[in-house]
């Protein structure tokens, strides 16, 4: 099965917060293909910086995670357009970065793994989700 981790899932795993064990199980599943959207690299880094992590620690964490990801999905024009459409379909406002991440999951035909309640606003017919 193919999964795409939202920044919230990656942070939960890194910080050993609620949902970390579920992310770890995905990492250990030989049948799981795990991707992230390129914007997650920035979001993760910025959040870790805000939490006081050093640049070296952030860089090391990203290098280690990138070893387990099957791909980093670039935010290109089709994904940007899909993010707009997902925003229109959502029952409530969804932040732009999250719309782009959801669109990347849609593009990759992956299950979006997250712990952000606002993703629930996206129609289930448009995006498969697994909330941590």
Distance CA 89, CA 67 (A): 34
- What are the average pLDDT values for consecutive 10-residue runs of the chain, which has 132 residues? 98 97 97 98 97 97 96 98 96 95 98 94 91 96
The CB density around residue 126, as the number of other CB atoms within 10 Å, is 15
Q: Which positions ≥6 away from 92 have C-beta within 8 Å?
A: 118, 121
Q: Which residue is associated with the tokens 């770890």?
A: 24
Judge contact between 101 and 9, C-beta under 8 A. no
Can you read off the two tokens belonging to residue 128?
Answer: 């498969």
Query: Domain containing 55: what range?
Result: 2-131
Q: How many domains does the chain have?
A: 1
Distance CA 1, CA 20 (A): 19
Q: Which CATH number goes with the domain that contains 18?
A: 3.40.50.1010
Confidence at residue 70, expressed as pLDDT on a 0 to 100 scale: 96
């Amino acid at each position: 099965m193919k999964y795409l981790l939202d920044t919230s899932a990656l942070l939960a795993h890194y910080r050993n917060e609620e949902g970390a064990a579920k992310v770890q199980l995905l990492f250990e599943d030989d049948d799981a293909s795990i991707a992230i959207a390129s914007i997650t690299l920035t979001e993760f880094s910025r959040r870790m910086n805000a939490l006081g992590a050093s640049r070296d620690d952030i860089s090391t964490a990203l290098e280690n995670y990138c070893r387990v990801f099957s791909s980093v999905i670039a935010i290109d024009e089709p994904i940007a357009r899909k993010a707009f459409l997902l925003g229109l379909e959502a029952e409530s406002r969804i932040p732009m970065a999250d719309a782009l991440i959801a669109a990347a999951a849609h593009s990759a035909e992956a299950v979006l793994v997250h712990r952000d309640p606002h993703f629930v606003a996206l129609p289930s017919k448009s995006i498969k989700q697994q909330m941590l």
